[in-house]
Amino acid sequence: MMMWSNFFMQEEDRRRREAAGRRRALGQHQSRLTPEREGKIKLGLLLSAVGATLAVLAVGTEFWVELNTYKANGSAVCDAVHLGLWKMCTKRLWQADVPAGRDTCGPAELPGEANCTYFKFFTTGENAHIFQRTTKKEVNLAAAVIAVVGLALMALGCLCIIMVLSKGAEFLLRVGAICFGLSGLLLLVSLEVFRHSVQALLQRVSPEPPPAPALAYEYSWSLGCGMGASLVLLLASGCFLLLTLPPGPWGSLCPKLGHRAT
């Protein structure tokens, strides 16, 4: 009797091990991406990388807006300022270098004497003073914080997609799509908040002498990079969301040509 009981126990253990092995093999097979699906995810990741590059370039540079004085001041030089989320640069340009058809100083890319300083409202809480005008630090801080949160979500989305490709964790595909979508929306919100900060700066004229000069402003290439980054990230989010949809509805909407024969 003891021999038969040992035999049955060994047979039961063998069956359990085989079942566990089949489950592991099935799980590995299901977590493995097909080459076609992997290629689509890689294309989406490449699109996200383009958006991420534009976003980092926009947030890290200070050419969001240019504030220019007018050339008709009886001097051989004129002043211009370009600023971003973190710092501003004051430039003194030769009027001879300014394009002839331009009434204001600039563009800021022209060579000239430059003095760049970081905004102090990130450290001491002081407002910046530009051409006898004062920034509204709460609005500038809000634009910077929103942009940083957008970059953090963008980095999290990239990490999720990399995990999908390396580990086969396809449930992270939807998480990555949501992260990219929120990142694009936050960058758009940051752009709008920054626009309000520029309007607030132009209106907050100091009553103290000397009088504030007349200014013209124009948005520059950093802000264009931010706009492009937000649109590309939203497009990447939509592509990843499409990849998370089940194939059934699309198969019914787009039947194979073989089914239409005759």
Angle of CA points 190, 172, 185, to nearest 5°: 15
- 151 within domain boundaries: yes
pLDDT band at 17 (very low <50, low <70, confident <90, very high): low
Number of domains making up the chain:
1
| 102-137 tens-digit pLDDT | 888 888 888 888 899 999 888 888 899 899 899 999
Across the chain, mean pLDDT equals 84
- 92 within domain boundaries: yes
Contact present, 107 and 81 (Cβ < 8 Å): no
- 10 within domain boundaries: no
Q: What pLDDT is stored for residue 257 in this prediction?
A: 40
Q: What pLDDT is stored for residue 233 in this prediction?
A: 96
Contact present, 224 and 78 (Cβ < 8 Å): no
Contact present, 98 and 255 (Cβ < 8 Å): no
Could you tell me the residue range of the domain that residue 216 belongs to?
34-119+129-242
- 81 within domain boundaries: yes
CATH number at residue 93: 1.20.140.150
pTM here is 0.80
